[in-house]
């Protein structure tokens, strides 16, 4: 679908700054916004947490669009970020830049503080001082920690994180609330649940499993396979994020999940079926910082965002595998 031409008089009403624009969710969000005629300014540091070539491949697709501009910068650098806000003058900001991954936060916690806490503080300050109408930011299902009440509701207590990554994401929600209260900045946090789909992250289990199964290498399955995840397809995540952008709530937090908890071994079986190879499985114990089950209660998101996920894993995994096989064959 070709992008609509922007009317010059309404340009300031259509300008969205997206951090993490070379990332998985960021790429898909930018693409969706551009297709609907928005002017998008992408920011990303293109770090090497996972293969920068994948990030660049996503970015290459966006940069062919006339309404997309990009600035390679780190949100932890307040001067560079402030200049980007000054130059672009965004109406709204979507912060998807973060150091991701629960397990890596055990090895390099400092990276999480720099990006997810210092960087987020810089985002809040820039939004405050540049008259941004609203900030939408990525939180995470990891804020629920070891909660045993299922499904996870936004009304549940989330003050006992079990990883540094989760702690930084909860801190984002607290910092956003402070800025909403003190300075009238509209903020909306989105707790994403296990997002998957084409152009997905190579550090996520679904990608790792697909890669190893296709190469005939063994896969590690933790907690002896007794894990459940609320796998949520990227298109549903983008629909929920777009709905949040369209609103102007003073302060909100929403779950964006599939409202279903799927058995990890069912996911493995679907990957095996699509690739046409049987997995060699090495069952392992539970990993520090990990949880046995996630399951999103999405009533609040349905009521205030009209969010209704539509993609089941039996439909979504084949789409992911189709993309993975094509992408890996062209690397």
> What is the rounded distance in angstroms from the CA atom of residue 260 to the CA atom of residue 305?
18
Q: Any bridge partners for residue 137, and if so which?
A: 95, 189
Q: Are 94 and 136 in contact (CB under 8 A)?
A: yes
Q: Which of 49, 104, 165, 307 is catalytic?
A: 165
**CA 117 and chain centroid, separation:** 16
> What is the rounded distance in angstroms from the CA atom of residue 98 to the CA atom of residue 152?
23
Length of the chain: 331
> What is the rounded distance in angstroms from the CA atom of residue 86 to the CA atom of residue 95?
17
> What is the rounded distance in angstroms from the CA atom of residue 255 to the CA atom of residue 212?
31
Q: Is 165 a catalytic residue?
A: yes
Which residues, including other chains, have CB under 8 Å from residue 291's CB and lie 6 or more apart?
142, 144, 145, 146, 162
Q: Are 41 and 71 in contact (CB under 8 A)?
A: yes
- C-beta atoms surrounding 285 within 10 Å: 7
Please identify every residue annotated as catalytic: 165
């Amino acid at each position: 679908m070709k992008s609509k031409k922007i009317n010059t008089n309404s340009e300031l009403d259509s300008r969205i700054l997206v951090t993490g624009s070379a990332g998985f969710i960021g790429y898909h969000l930018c693409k969706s916004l551009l297709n609907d005629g928005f002017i998008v300014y992408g920011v990303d540091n293109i770090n090497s947490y996972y293969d920068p070539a994948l990030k660049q491949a996503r970015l290459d697709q966006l940069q062919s669009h006339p309404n997309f501009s990009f600035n390679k910068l780190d949100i932890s650098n307040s001067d560079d970020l402030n200049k980007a806000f000054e130059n672009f003058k965004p109406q709204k900001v979507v912060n998807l830049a973060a150091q991701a991954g629960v397990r890596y936060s055990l090895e390099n916690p400092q990276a999480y503080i720099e990006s997810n806490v210092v960087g987020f503080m810089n985002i809040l300050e820039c939004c405050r001082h540049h008259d941004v109408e609203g900030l939408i930011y990525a939180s995470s299902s990891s804020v629920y920690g070891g909660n045993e009440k299922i499904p996870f509701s936004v009304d549940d207590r989330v003050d006992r994180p079990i990883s540094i990554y989760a702690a930084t994401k909860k801190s984002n929600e607290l910092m956003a609330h402070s800025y909403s209260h003190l300075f009238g900045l509209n903020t909306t946090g989105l707790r994403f649940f296990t997002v998957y789909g084409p152009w997905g992250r190579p550090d996520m289990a679904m990608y790792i499993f697909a890669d190893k199964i296709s190469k005939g290498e063994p896969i590690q399955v933790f907690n002896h396979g007794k894990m459940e995840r609320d796998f949520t397809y990227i298109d549903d995540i983008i629909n929920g994020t777009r709905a949040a952008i369209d609103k102007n709530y003073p302060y909100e937090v929403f779950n964006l999940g599939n409202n279903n908890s799927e058995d990890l071994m069912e996911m493995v079986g679907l990957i095996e079926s699509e690739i046409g190879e049987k997995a060699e499985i090495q069952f392992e114990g539970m990993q520090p910082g990990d949880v046995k089950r996630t399951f999103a209660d999405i009533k609040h998101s349905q009521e205030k965002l009209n969010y209704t996920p539509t993609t089941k894993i039996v439909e979504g995994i084949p789409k992911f595998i189709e993309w993975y096989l094509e992408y890996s064959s062209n690397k």
